Amino acid sequence: MVSITVQLNFDYALSFRFFLLWQPLVETGARSQLAFFVVFLVFTEPMNREIFQWSPQSVPANWFQVRNQWEYSHVARFVFQLLGLCALQVSLLVETPIGLHHSVTPEVAPLTKR
């Protein structure tokens, strides 16, 4: 779902003339969403597989270090997701005209009529 949202936002961004204003925001959003997934694959998922194999009798002595790495990976994922979502939302706000005083190109004019 996230990749579809990123792709739709990026395709939408490519179609308008103010692209240079919010291109960095769209790229930041897309890269942050990708970083979130990489953090999951590299840190969170291996820890999940390790922790699911534990039983009450087989908990290692350094369980708190494993737990801390698992928790920090969740924090990193949250930060990347929040940054990506905020960047994509701000890119839409920068692109969207606020009032009628903005100039509208002829190809966009039919889309703005209510």
Q: What is the pLDDT of residue 86?
A: 93
Residue 105 lies in a domain: no
Considering only CA atoms, which of 34, 27, 36 is closest in space to residue 9? 27
106 occurs within a structural domain: no
Does residue 103 lie in a domain region? no
Domain count, the chain: 1
As given in the structure block, the two tokens for residue 15 are 């179609």
The residue range of the domain holding 67 is 2-98
| Residue 111, domain member (yes or no) | no
Q: How far apart are CA 65 and CA 53, in angstroms?
A: 16
Q: Work out the number of other CB atoms within 10 angstroms of the CB of residue 109.
A: 9
- Does residue 114 belong to any structural domain of this protein? no
DSSP 8-state assignment for residue 22: H
Position 72 scores a pLDDT of: 95
Q: What is the pLDDT along the chain (114 residues), one digit of tens a residue?
A: 555 555 556 555 555 545 566 788 888 999 999 999 999 999 999 999 998 998 988 899 999 998 999 999 999 999 999 999 999 898 888 766 555 455 667 776 677 666
In angstroms, the CA 51 to CA 67 distance is: 9
Q: Is residue 108 part of a domain?
A: no
| The residue to which tokens 């939302």 are assigned | 89
Residue 15 within a domain:
yes
- The two structure tokens encoding residue 98: 């606020």
Asked if residue 30 is part of any domain, the answer here is yes
- Helix axes 19-39 and 2-14, enclosed angle (nearest 10): 160
